[in-house]
Structures are given as C-alpha cells and as structure tokens.
Structure 1
Amino acid sequence: MKTSLTKKSNDTSALPIIYSLRNCPYAMRARLAIFKAQQTVLLRDLVLSNKPAEMIAVSPKGTVPVLVLTNGRVIEESLEVMLWALQQTDPDDLFHCDDEGALPAMLSLISTFDNDFKTSLEAYKCAKRYQEDNVDECRIVCQQYIEQLEQRLTEHRFLMSDKESLADIALVPFIRQFARVERQWYLQSPYPKVRRWLNSYLQSPVFTKVMAKHPLWLDNHEDVLFGVN
C-alpha cells in the first residue's frame, strides 16, 4: 500500500533532494510523479521570497522544482523530474509501455498545455485578479483547450485512454488552477467530464498526501522524507 512519509531526517547523503513549493503547479506535478513512481526523496519546502542558498548554488535560476540526485546531477524542469521518477519505476504504467506511440503523444499534449494553454491561463488569471474588462475573452481562449480535454474524456476515462497516464498527472495541477479562477462559472460550465476527472484527483488520498503541508526547510534545516517506503 502506498503511504506518504513525513518523517524528519538529518541524513541528506543517501537520497535525492527536491526543493519544492507546496502550491506551485510545476512542483505539484513533480511530487505527484515521485509519489506515483514510489520513489523516496528528501523534501525541502520553501517560499520564493526566501530561497535557500543551497538551492541557488545548484540552480541559479531560482525556480522550483529542483531535484538534486545523489550523483550530483541537477534536474530543474518539472517534466524532466517526472520523467526521471517514472524511468526509475512505473508501477502504474503511466508511460503505457505496450504502446510505442503513447509517450510521444503524451509529451505532445503536455507541450501544448505547458506552452499555449499556460500562457492563456496566466492572462485569464491576471484579468480576473485585476478586475480587467476582458475576463470573458481570456476565459474563452482557455476554453479551447478545456474543450479538447472534454472531448478526450468523453471517449475514455483518462486523457489518453481508459488508463491513467503521465499526461493526466502533468496537466491536473494546471486544470486545478483554471477551475479556481471563476469558481462559480466553472461549476456550471459545459465540461462535466473535466470536472469529474479533476475531482477524482483532488479528492484522492494520493493528492492529499502530495499536498500535505510541511515545515519550511529554512526554519529548521530538517529534511522531510517524501514518497513511498
């Protein structure tokens, strides 16, 4: 059975270290993949207004997630963290290994949302936050992408097939953000399949464990074991 670990540890030599921000969607999906891959890492939670010098030393760009492997390799992009984790172990077959074209198709979908949708989502969030007069227009641009997901989820249970995939856990943090911009509109929107899919994650024990709140690492410099024993 999968269980999330929250035990503190002072030994940072035997496990990879991940610098993370609890509500950052990029860090969120990295943690999801690590958990799904049944890996164990040392989690260092932070806030972007107070970044650890240890993180900046290995990743000067100063964004999360940052994964530091035991061999010294540093992985600075969330999708690369996800791929690393699932290349170690993929017990749920999120790569759909029996289908040669599955992973390229997943990566293509993720790329569309990481680039085009994310840009539109940021414009939508800003328009709502600053009460601009183009909120509807910004939302309509985002809806083009949400409609694609609704169609996929009409055809099967998850985004790629009836089986969960890398694409599902890569996109869910960003669809969560979209759903929160105009909550009442979203709840009445013509996307019941997307709502069901998103809720299946948000209400799952896995998501609860992945989103558990931990002490900030700079407060005590004590690492937290995260993942599966």
Structure 2
Amino acid sequence: MSLSDLPILYSFRRCPYAMRARLAIAASGVSCQLREVVLRDKPDALRLASPKATVPVLVLPDGRVIDESLDIMRWALAIHDPCHYLQPGQGLHEQMEALIAANDGPFKKHLDCYKYPDRHTDDEQFTEATRFSALHRAQASEILMGLNARIEQEGYLVGKTPCLADLAIAPFVRQFAQVDRAWFDAQPWAALSSWLVNFQSSTLFASIMGKYPAWTPDSEMVLFPAG
C-alpha cells in the first residue's frame, strides 16, 4: 500500500475524543495520514467526509467513514492489539463498557458545565456562572472518586492491566484536571492522580501529542504514528 492509500484521520490535538482515537491507532501500530483540523475553520474535506464535521473522523481507503471515536479505537485495536486493551479479563468486559458509557454521558456533561459554565447558563452574571461551575465540579468529582476506588483496588480502571477504558477515559480526566490543576491535585484521590501522571508521562501519550500545522489541501502528508 502506498502512503497515499493510507486511511486519513482528521484530528485536533487537544480534543479528548481525537486524543483517544490517536491513542488506539498508535497502540495498534496502524499507519494513517494525519490531518490536523482548526475547529473554527474546518476544511471542506472534513465536512464532505462526515456531515457532523467533528473530530475525530477516519476515512478508510475503500471510502468508508468512521466518525465516532470509540468506533475508531475498536477498528484500530481489532487489527492489532499487542497490549490486549480489548481484553480486560474474564467477566470484566461489561464493567469496562459501563465505565466508558458513564464517562461519555454523565461525566462529560459535568465536565463541560464545569469548564464552560457560560455556555450552559442563561444568566451571564459571574457569581451565577461560578456557582453553576462549582456544582458540576462536585458532581464530576463523585464519579472521579469512584474511579479512584477502582484504581486503589486493582491498579487500573478494570483489573490489574490497562484496557480500553483507561485509554478512552484518561483524556477526559486530563481535561478536567487542567481546568484548575492546583485544586485537582489537592483532592483526596491519590490513586487517580498517580494513574493520570503515569498516563501523561507514558511513551504512548507522548507519541500522540506532536504539534502539526493545520491541514490544507496543499499540505504535505503527515504520517501517523510518526515513523
């Protein structure tokens, strides 16, 4: 297969959904063309590939389009999964899927309301937005305390080795932590904090966080993972 026949991944470096897709692709070793997107100026090629026009979007050589991050993760790891991320252990698959669903549902909602309170309230007064943000931070924190308990017990979210849930959830916990890192680090979730630090210091994470200019039709091809 020539380089021009590789799958095309539309991505945005800081987006946690795109981050999880890149993590799985990098872990699998599957090669693709990376197209970095500026969300305020999305290229027409992205819009043509997926009407949702949200990253990540993976365009396969046969023309098929995968535009859900978890589906991209499963596609890549189904091809090659050397660390067995799709196999959390006997009887643990349902737990893995439930944790991902809770992250993508309730936790993501609370995260957005905590980080961007002005987008989710009609009252633009600072005090109201601050109160709204604090409420959702507290509700998100309850979910994080549950994750902390799991990590304390086993070392990872599901069992004693990392699985799909760890890759899928870590980018969102990272985003939550970065809203107010001093506050996050002061909370009683030492196991969760260590898990996050280990994730952010991993070779895998470093391999997906390269900085690239915004893609245009005239851009040179970017191979991902970087060779």
Q: TM-score, normalised by structure 2?
A: 0.90
Q: Which residue of 2 aligns with 1:170?
A: 168
Change in Cα spacing, 1:128 to 1:147, as seen in structure 2 (3 Å) is farther
Question: 1:11-160, aligned counterparts within 5 Å?
Answer: 11-13=3-5, 15-96=6-87, 99=90, 101-127=91-117, 131=126, 132-134=129-131, 135-160=133-158
Q: Secondary structure at the match of 1:43?
A: strand
Query: What 5-or-longer segments of structure 1 have no aligned partner?
Result: 1-9
Contact 2:88 2:96 in 1 (8 A): no
Asked if residue 185 in structure 1 is aligned to residue 175 in structure 2, the reply is: no
Query: How many Å apart are 1:217 and its aligned residue?
Result: 1.3
Aligned residues: 218
Percent of residue pairs bearing the same amino acid type:
40
The C-alpha deviation readout for 1:26-57, integer Å capped at 9, x for no partner, is: 00000000001111111011101221211111
| Inter-partner Cα distance in structure 2 for 1:183 and 1:98 | 33
Query: How many Å apart are 1:148 and its aligned residue?
Result: 0.7
Q: TM-score, normalised by structure 1?
A: 0.89
Whose RCO is larger (CA < 8 A, sep 6+)?
1
Q: Secondary structure at the match of 2:224?
A: strand
Contact 1:18 1:41 in 2 (8 A): yes
Equivalent AA in structure 2 for residue 191 of structure 1: W
| Inter-partner Cα distance in structure 2 for 1:223 and 1:28 | 19
| Inter-partner Cα distance in structure 1 for 2:13 and 2:207 | 11
Contact 2:88 2:163 in 1 (8 A): no
Query: What 5-or-longer segments of structure 2 have no aligned partner?
Result: none
Q: Return the structure number with greater helix share.
A: 2
Contact 2:47 2:53 in 1 (8 A): yes
Equivalent AA in structure 2 for residue 123 of structure 1: C
Contact 1:110 1:171 in 2 (8 A): yes
Q: Which residue of 2 aligns with 1:221?
A: 219
Q: Secondary structure at the match of 1:113?
A: helix
Query: How many Å apart are 1:219 and its aligned residue?
Result: 7.3
